[in-house]
């Protein structure tokens, strides 16, 4: 599962790189787990490492 941490500043770069349009930004990025295919592009491209992969 991919989650946004409290360090997210809402830059929305993750939303731009998400191929599934699974991310919305409302002050902080929110990932729709139903749409997310865990490609990890948001994790790789987050400039402040605020998105992490966690075990369910």
Helix and strand totals (H; E) in the chain: 2, 4
Where do the H-state alpha helices sit in 1-56?
13-17, 41-45
Question: Can you give the residue range of the structural domain that contains 13?
Answer: 2-53
Supply the pTM of this predicted model. Answer: 0.91
For 44-54, the pLDDT digits (tens) are 999 999 999 99
Mean pLDDT across the stretch 27-34? 96
Mean pLDDT across the stretch 11-36? 97
Q: How far is CA 17 from CA 24, 55, 56, in A?
A: 12, 22, 24
In this prediction, residue 20 carries a pLDDT of: 98
Length of the chain: 56
Mean pLDDT across the stretch 14-43? 97
Confidence band of 24 (pLDDT split at 50, 70, 90) = very high
Domain count of the chain? 1
CATH number for position 47: 3.30.70.20
């Amino acid at each position: 599962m991919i989650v946004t941490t409290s360090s997210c500043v809402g830059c929305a770069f993750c939303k731009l790189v998400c191929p599934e349009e699974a991310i919305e930004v409302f002050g902080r990025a929110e990932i729709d787990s139903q749409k997310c295919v865990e490609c990890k592009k948001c994790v790789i491209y987050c400039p402040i490492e605020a998105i992490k992969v966690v075990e369910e």
